[in-house]
Amino acid sequence: GAVVSQHPSRVICKSGTSVKIECRSLDFQATTMFWYRQFPKKSLMLMATSNEGSKATYEQGVEKDKFLINHASLTLSTLTVTSAHPEDSSFYICSADGRVTEAFFGQGTRLTVV
């Protein structure tokens, strides 16, 4: 199956700093990538839909100025958590549409803000 690589897998940052998470489709081109947030023992909450070459579409309640998404190429989307606070600590997962109707997921990034 198609491979989506997410980096880093774990990151610890100080409160007030920014953190960038990368999502790469390694063997296919993805015009659309999705960013999810998952709280412990909870489901995946869609944060935003990232479309190559255009602005991301954010879900209601997600601060677009805090969670900056860039999809500059068909194989890379980045999520930047700006001015991170402890409440931003979570597990973030990206997915990419390799083909119609199937999403391939990255390994996830555990963000801890101290």
Partner 1 sequence: AQTVTQSQPEMSVQEAETVTLSCTYDTSESDYYLFWYKQPPSRQMILVIRQEAYKQQNATENRFSVNFQKAAKSFSLKISDSQLGDAAMYFCAYFNTGNQFYFGTGTSLTVIP
Site of interaction with partner 1 (CB under 8 A): 1, 32, 34, 38, 41-44, 46, 49, 91, 93, 95, 97, 101-103, 105, 107-108
CB-nearer residue toward partner 1: 38 or 70:
38
Which phi and psi angles does 43 have, rounded to 5°? -80, 175
Nearest approach in angstroms of CB 101 to partner 1 is: 5
Closest CB 90 distance from partner 1, rounded Å: 12
- Reading phi first (left if > 0) and then psi (alpha if -120 to 50, else beta), residue 72 is in alpha
Cβ contacts of 94 within 8 Å, gap of 6 or more: 4, 6, 21, 23, 33, 34, 35, 36, 77, 79, 105, 106
Prior bond of 8 cis (ω within 30°): yes
> CB 43 → partner 1: shortest distance, Å?
5
Nearer to partner 1, 44 or 82 (CB): 44
Q: Which is nearer to partner 1, 74 or 82 (CB)?
A: 74
Please, what is the minimum distance in Å from the beta carbon of residue 31 to partner 1? 10
